[in-house]
Amino acid sequence: MSQDTPVKRQFGHRARLALSPAGVRTADDQAHAARTLWNLLHAWWQMMPKEKRTLANADAAIRQARQDIGFLAVLPAQAAQAVLKTYVRAWKNCWEGRADAPNFKCRFRTVMSVDIPQGRDLNIVRVHRRWGQVNLPKVGRVRFRWTKDLPVGKRAGAENRITGARLVKDALGWHIAFRVQILQARPAPHRGPDIGIDVGVTVPLALSDGTTYEHGAWLTGKEKARLLHWEQRAAQRKQHRRPGERTSRRLHRTYDRIAGLRAKAKRRALDWQHRTTTAIARTYGTVVVEALTITNMVTSARGTLEEPGRNVAQKSGLNRAISGEAWGRTVTLLTYKTARYGGSLVKVPAPGTSRRCSVCGLTTPGSRESQAVFVCKNPACGWSGNADHNAARNVLHLYRTGLALVPAAGRAVVRRAKRVKPAAAR
């Protein structure tokens, strides 16, 4: 395929909704109706014999349920069909080994969401620079934050359009996630330099050219004090609950305040990751990262009764710090952003990158004197420098020597690039 051939790109864009109190209640009712419809559909699926578990019978059961149960009528008919489609897709993912079998959805542990499968029903209009308007079924015209140019109005067409949306509620309120499809030119190959990246806790991202990307605390001092206050208040109120007693509304409001502060911290962290990965993808042509198995890195050190672990509290704090940095999400963002700008992302084996000297290439015991300083113990070298930058240079060295991890049959294997001999040596 030539570079001038346009390619179809599909992505999502999430924006904050400005719902009125009545609109919030309607959206909440629709989300609860969608969850209830999922549970009824799952119960029907378990009761029916296998030969009667067809799409037509399930659709007829949904229509009958919407007639018999009054509060299900608040859910639009297309959203009800989307619940059926999602449920069938969940079973297909289970049969193909990509996910577990679907189950009932709990009221307080399930993300409240409503699907809008038809993009033509949205009728999106940009009001001014900061706000746009969207039509939500059975809710009406609602404003949303305009933070990205969307293919609406004269810019919309058969190839550039919004194919649908989903209403999602988190601790900060209701949001709308648009499904966008555009036709754009294939990006030219990125001519930027190669770069190796080492991830860490003290220094989140250290690059092989000496650049570092750091961030501060996601919550201010007052917000941390407020979070600690509400966590202590929740612990006190939880002590007065009897076994089997329902959670009071006061405790639920306390949980909501805690979730709101944590969601604010997560949003700031995600914003920093997006800005950082965009800057890296625009600057460098090939980005090399370590293939880390993060699930093994955050394993608890508690041990067993026969063999109890050591430094359990310290390991728990390290696990929280690793999970808070979200290294896997950083790699995911870099993967599609480097491809968008014409670059590529390569993974290399992780063992030994922090213990090898990037100058002489030897691995000697005790070279990593501290978390931040690397001192080569080779008498012929003796180089010392920042440990994170040294590891990033080793990551880039593995790529330049031809080592790369490629997926093969569901696992990663090491492949060494073939080198072409010069004409004089043949």
Average the pLDDT over 303-327 and give the result.
78
Spell out the domain ranges in the chain.
6-13+115-185, 22-114, 187-215+270-426
Average the pLDDT over 239-245 and give the result.
83
Q: Among all chains, which residue has been given the structure tokens 């307080």?
A: 108
- Among 64-73, 151-160, 169-178, which range has the highest average pLDDT? 169-178
Q: Is the pLDDT of residue 425 over 50?
A: no
Contact 311, 302 (CB under 8 A): no
Q: pLDDT tens-digit profile of 198-226?
A: 888 888 999 988 889 999 999 999 999 99
DSSP string, 339-393: HHTT-EEEEE--TTTTTB-TTT--B-TT---SSSEEE---TTT--EEEHHHHHHH
DSSP string, 204-243: SEEETTS-EE----SS-HHHHHHHHHHHHHHHHHHHTPPT
Average the pLDDT over 72-90 and give the result.
92
Q: Is the pLDDT of residue 424 over 50?
A: no
Average the pLDDT over 414-419 and give the result.
47
What is the C-alpha separation between 33 and 75, in angstroms, rounded? Answer: 6
What is the C-alpha separation between 381 and 357, in angstroms, rounded? Answer: 9
Average the pLDDT over 394-419 and give the result.
63
Q: Is the pLDDT of residue 176 over 80?
A: yes
* H or E element at residue 191: none
Average the pLDDT over 83-88 and give the result.
93
* Among the listed residues 287, 289, 296, 295, the one whose alpha carbon sits nearest the alpha carbon of residue 405: 289
**CA angle centred on 257, ends 245 and 317, rounded to 5°:** 90
Is residue 423 very low, low, confident or very high in pLDDT (cuts 50, 70, 90)? Answer: very low
Q: Among all chains, which residue has been given the structure tokens 């430094």?
A: 311
* Among the listed residues 236, 17, 251, the one whose alpha carbon sits nearest the alpha carbon of residue 112: 17
Q: Is the pLDDT of residue 166 over 90?
A: yes
Give the rounded distance of the alpha carbon of 313 from its chain centre: 27
- Among 293-297, 325-329, 366-370, which range has the highest average pLDDT? 325-329
Between residues 78 and 406, the one the model is more confident about: 78
* Among the listed residues 159, 150, 84, the one whose alpha carbon sits nearest the alpha carbon of residue 123: 150
pLDDT at 338: 92
Contact 318, 297 (CB under 8 A): no
How are strands ordered across the β-sheet holding 173-185?
113-116, 161-170, 173-185, 6-18, 140-145, 131-136, 125-126
Whole-structure pTM value: 0.82
* H or E element at residue 67: helix 55-68
Is residue 366 very low, low, confident or very high in pLDDT (cuts 50, 70, 90)? Answer: confident
Range of weakest confidence among 236-240, 246-250, 284-288, 405-409:
405-409
**Residue 44 CB-density burial (10 A; 0-12 exposed, 13-18 middle, 19+ buried):** middle
Q: Is the pLDDT of residue 135 over 50?
A: yes
Output the average pLDDT for the chain: 86
Q: Is the pLDDT of residue 415 over 70?
A: no
Residues 248, 250, 255, 256, CA torsion sign: positive
What is the C-alpha separation between 136 and 118, in angstroms, rounded? Answer: 11
Close Cβ partners of 403 (under 8 Å, ≥ 6 residues apart): 348, 349, 414, 415, 416
Close Cβ partners of 145 (under 8 Å, ≥ 6 residues apart): 15, 16, 18, 130, 131, 132
**Residue 254 CB-density burial (10 A; 0-12 exposed, 13-18 middle, 19+ buried):** buried
Q: pLDDT tens-digit profile of 88-121?
A: 999 999 999 988 999 999 887 889 999 999 888 8
What is the C-alpha separation between 349 and 394, in angstroms, rounded? Answer: 11
Close Cβ partners of 18 (under 8 Å, ≥ 6 residues apart): 131, 142, 143, 144, 145
Locate all alpha helices (DSSP H) within 77-131, ordered by sequence: 77-95
Between residues 14 and 153, the one the model is more confident about: 14
pLDDT at 416: 53
Q: What is the CA radius of gyration of the chain?
A: 26
